[in-house]
Structure 1
Amino acid sequence: MNGAGERVNQGDFGFEERMRELLAEDAYTIQPSSAPYPAIRRRGLAERRRRVAMAGAALMTLAAVPVGAYAVAGGNGERGADTAAPKPSVSAPHSPAGSPRATAGGTAAGPAQPATGGQLLDGITFAQAADGLKKCLAAEGGPPGSAADLGEAENYRIILAIRSTGDSNSPGDGIYVTAVEKRSAGRWVVCSIKDGVASGISAGTIDTGVPGTGPVVVDSNGEQLYQQSFMDKGRWKLPFRWGMIGTVEASVAKVTVSYGDGGPVTATLDHGWFAVAGQLNQQVTLAPHVKGYDGSGKLVYDSDQDGTYQRTLP
């Protein structure tokens, strides 16, 4: 029994030893595979794309919801203090032709239009003229309440808009927008706009209460409308678009202006002002010749007889 038992134990021991050797050999031959980087990277990219797509879908969903329709409910299911409820739309009332459009608050949004479309020349629209006037007053006007304060555009009426010709003193062509204050008799501004930017302004007041003032008054300070720089005397760029403005009494029914080789041009009468424009094709030394007539056709004003009018150009 003992001999047989020893043989069995020796056999078991031999088998166990063999298994240990085999396992030891496998430990050296079996190696873990390397991490599948390309596959992992593809999964990572796909995951990022999926997250981006989900975020984009969420943004599109939010964008599809009208802002005014979004509301936050309070704890009791009713609208709380953070509610963003839709507001009713407000339509501005239609303004009559020739008057400035009003906002919901009732404040005029811009200057009044001229009496006729013929006062806007050279393809200039009223919108362009109004925008130029606003820019000019904002850029060139003084501090509010000061003597140089020219007020807001809605206080004015545009009476003339023409192209401007550059000269040695102010190079570059542009446009002139001439406007007059609606509530201050005799006050005018001429705005220079070049490339959509305000480049200068002239302003003045015609005092019709001065003794000896006639039924037609031209402010010589507005000469930039009808002449180029004195430095270019005799060498003006031609053809030259010129303009002129002035005040008229109620008795005046017609105003004509002659300049250079051109015949008389009939001015437009607009709320106590006259506005006129023409085209000059020759060099000149004399200022425009202005005449005014009453309702019967009688001559009541002639600039050649006006001692305050400068007939000769500088």
Structure 2
Amino acid sequence: MNEEQKQQGTGTGGDFEEQLRELLTEDAYTVRPAPVPYPAIRRRGAIERRRRAAAAGAALVTLAALPAGAYALADGDAGGPAVASAPKASAPPRTSTTSPTPSAASAGPARPATEDQLLDGITFEEATDGLKKCLAYDRARTGGPSGFRADLGAAEEYRIILAMNSTGDSNAPGDGMYVVAVKEQPKQTRLICNVKNGEASGLNTSVGSDDVPGAGPVMADSNGGKLYQQSVIDRGNWKLPFRWGAIGTVEPSVARVTVSYGGATSRAALDHGWFVASGVLNQQVTAAPRIKGYDADGKLVYDSDEDRSYEKQLP
């Protein structure tokens, strides 16, 4: 190889090395991560701070607009705005003819439709206590539910429709208090509870509807007789004065029920599908209460004297 060729080779090699270094340098810049976008981050931070400030201002306006007694619940996120919660308004009184469903959180049964269904100075609290004692008495007596009989449930499932004094007789000595309560679910249940000296002493229950084919719009309770009569052992020799009660079911078409007993007539209270009447006897009687039902126009739609299934005379 002559000198000229050596010089050309050297020059060619030098150019190649220079180009290689340039390519490597460009690749290094290509794979190097881009610089952190600090200006963009600062802009997002400023926007977020302004958003939180606006939200906090809105929360303060909301709190200022709430009535006295409102309270705030802290947001779960740190730095988040407070959420205001106002006290709940009380619900309007019921006007429906359907049976109310007692709240699971309530401490006791529902009240009767009228205060006139709590008689002889018996308070609702006393009636509730009597109902609880009778349910406990039933569980202790039967040992709880079995394959033949379901548990009667808890007091808060019921509605008290009557509370009144009870008069002792030869079959069940000692005066006390009757409490009548009903519930619709899971099955219609009616119980007549007798409390004496602060203890349950007797319980009569009916589970399931008493409706029979061809029954009228008013039906007296099949076991309600214990509320308006004394023992057959004392026939002709009742203890007087005698507080009596009469209960039964009514259809929605019935607007008024009257019960006549011992020469006096009482207008019954209508309580979510039940009628409840009461009075005081000052004389011995032999005829059962006479029950009449009327529609909204005042037309007679039921008369127990025309009801073949109703026992019109006392035993």
Q: Fold match, TM over 0.5?
A: yes
Question: Counterpart of 2:157?
Answer: 155
Determine if contact 2:102/2:157 at 8 Å carries over to the other structure. no
Whole-Å separation in 2 of the counterparts to 1:94 and 1:295: 31
- Tell me the matched-pair count: 220
Which one-letter code corresponds to 2:172 in the other structure? S
Question: Counterpart of 2:123?
Answer: 125
Whole-Å separation in 1 of the counterparts to 2:102 and 2:219: 31
Whole-Å separation in 1 of the counterparts to 2:130 and 2:92: 22
**Correspondence list, 1:44-123, <5 A:** 107-123=105-121
Question: Counterpart of 1:213?
Answer: 215
Provide Cα deviations, 1:257-304, integer angstroms capped at 9, x if missing partner. 000122x10000000001111001111111000000000000000000
Question: Counterpart of 2:251?
Answer: 249
CA apart distance, 1:208: 5.3
Could you list the runs of 5+ residues in structure 1 that have no partner in the other structure?
Answer: 1-92
Whole-Å separation in 1 of the counterparts to 2:126 and 2:230: 23
3-state secondary structure, aligned to 2:314: coil
**Correspondence list, 1:31-50, <5 A:** none
Could you list the runs of 5+ residues in structure 2 that have no partner in the other structure?
Answer: 1-88, 95-99
**Correspondence list, 1:163-312, <5 A:** 163-184=165-186, 186-205=188-207, 207=209, 209-262=211-264, 264-312=265-313
CA-atom RMSD, angstroms? 2.5
Per the alignment, do residues 184 and 228 of structure 1 end up closer, same or farther by CA in structure 2, a change over 3 Å counting? farther
TM normalised by structure 2 equals: 0.65
CA apart distance, 1:143: 4.0
Provide Cα deviations, 1:71-105, integer angstroms capped at 9, x if missing partner. xxxxxxxxxxxxxxxxxxxxxx9898798996xxx
Q: Which runs of 4+ in 1 moved over 2 A?
A: 93-102, 141-146, 182-187, 205-210
Question: Counterpart of 1:135?
Answer: 133
Whole-Å separation in 2 of the counterparts to 1:305 and 1:258: 15
Which one-letter code corresponds to 1:297 in the other structure? G
3-state secondary structure, aligned to 1:278: strand
Determine if contact 2:130/2:179 at 8 Å carries over to the other structure. yes
Per the alignment, do residues 305 and 170 of structure 1 end up closer, same or farther by CA in structure 2, a change over 3 Å counting? same
Per the alignment, do residues 164 and 209 of structure 1 end up closer, same or farther by CA in structure 2, a change over 3 Å counting? closer
Whole-Å separation in 1 of the counterparts to 2:183 and 2:200: 19
Whole-Å separation in 2 of the counterparts to 1:270 and 1:185: 18
Determine if contact 1:156/1:179 at 8 Å carries over to the other structure. yes
Whole-Å separation in 1 of the counterparts to 2:181 and 2:280: 21
Per the alignment, do residues 186 and 294 of structure 1 end up closer, same or farther by CA in structure 2, a change over 3 Å counting? farther
3-state secondary structure, aligned to 1:252: coil
Whole-Å separation in 2 of the counterparts to 1:100 and 1:249: 19
